[in-house]
A and B are shown apart, each in its own frame.
Chain A
Amino acid sequence: GENVEQHPSTLSVQEGDSAVIKCTYSDSASNYFPWYKQELGKGPQLIIDIRSNVGEKKDQRIAVTLNKTAKHFSLHITETQPEDSAVYFCAAQRGTNAGKSTFGDGTTLTVKP
């Protein structure tokens, strides 16, 4: 089955700096890669996703890149703000697999003011 590894497990940055979180996946048939943000005590919220036919996608301060050959994808947050502090999860999904996603273990991002 699919295996998703996420690094780093914790990340601390100064407000205004950039943050990068990286994930690798094992199943070359995976074709959809969402990122979720989870605040304390809440359910994860989808913040951005990328499909296998696209190499990069950007939404304001958030961007995701995908390298299908190397089987890795990354989340980039620029101009970080204290409200970006949360746990971030990457996931990989194979389109024919009943919508099931395999998740990374999460990255706890702390943005210091």
Chain B
Amino acid sequence: SQTIHQWPATLVQPVGSPLSLECTVEGTSNPNLYWYRQAAGRGLQLLFYSVGIGQISSEVPQNLSASRPQDRQFILSSKKLLLSDSGFYLCAWVRVRLAVYNEQFFGPGTRLTVL
């Protein structure tokens, strides 16, 4: 079966500090990977997605960047955090198939607080 991991689970960082959040998927190969941010009481905003190693698409302009150094590893980074970067960050994966319907599975999330 497939499993998706995220760490850390919670993080408190000062403004201006760097960030690195990691997501890994087990039990599948060549998945599409996604980073979402969820503000308190709000929906899911897609930040980045990747269809393969080294392939990153950005959905919104922002202070963050993403990288995919390995097939099942997705990293979210920032050089200098802003207060507005606080939120719940979710990684998700989709098994790419010939069919057009793609179930998306989410990780447990990382709660980031920037002070």
Decide whether A and B assemble into one complex: yes
Binding site for B on A (CB under 8 A): 6, 31-32, 34, 36, 41-46, 49, 51, 89, 91, 93, 95-96, 98-101, 103-106
Determine if B43 and A104 form an interchain contact, defined as CB atoms under 8 angstroms apart.
yes
Q: Enumerate the 3 nearest inter-chain pairs by beta-carbon distance, A residue then B residue, closest first.
A: A95-B100, A99-B94, A43-B106
Given known contacts A95-B100, A99-B32, A106-B42, is B49 in contact with A42 (CB within 8 Å)?
Answer: no
Determine if A103 and B106 form an interchain contact, defined as CB atoms under 8 angstroms apart.
no
Determine if A99 and B102 form an interchain contact, defined as CB atoms under 8 angstroms apart.
yes
Given known contacts A99-B32, A100-B34, A106-B43, is B106 in contact with A34 (CB within 8 Å)?
Answer: no
Determine if A103 and B44 form an interchain contact, defined as CB atoms under 8 angstroms apart.
yes
Task: Give the number of residue pairs across the A-B interface with Cβ within 8 Å.
Answer: 64
Q: Within the assembled complex, what's the spacing in Å between the Cα atoms of A44 and B92?
A: 10
- B41: chain A residues at CB < 8 Å are 106
- B32: chain A residues at CB < 8 Å are 98-99
B104: nearest chain-A partner, CB-CB: A101
User: In angstroms, how far is the closest chain B Cβ from the Cβ of A76?
Assistant: 20
A90: nearest chain-B partner, CB-CB: B43
**Is B46 an interface position by the 8 A CB rule?**
yes
Give 1 or 0 for each of B26-64: 1 = CB within 8 Å of chain A CB. Answer: 000000101000000111101001010000010000000
- B104: chain A residues at CB < 8 Å are 34, 46, 91, 93, 99, 101
Q: Could you list 30 examples of A-B contacts with CB < 8 Å? A: A32-B100, A32-B102, A34-B103, A34-B104, A41-B111, A44-B90, A44-B106, A45-B106, A46-B103, A46-B105, A49-B103, A89-B44, A91-B104, A93-B101, A93-B102, A93-B104, A95-B99, A95-B101, A96-B100, A98-B49, A99-B32, A99-B34, A99-B49, A99-B94, A99-B102, A100-B46, A100-B49, A101-B46, A103-B44, A106-B42
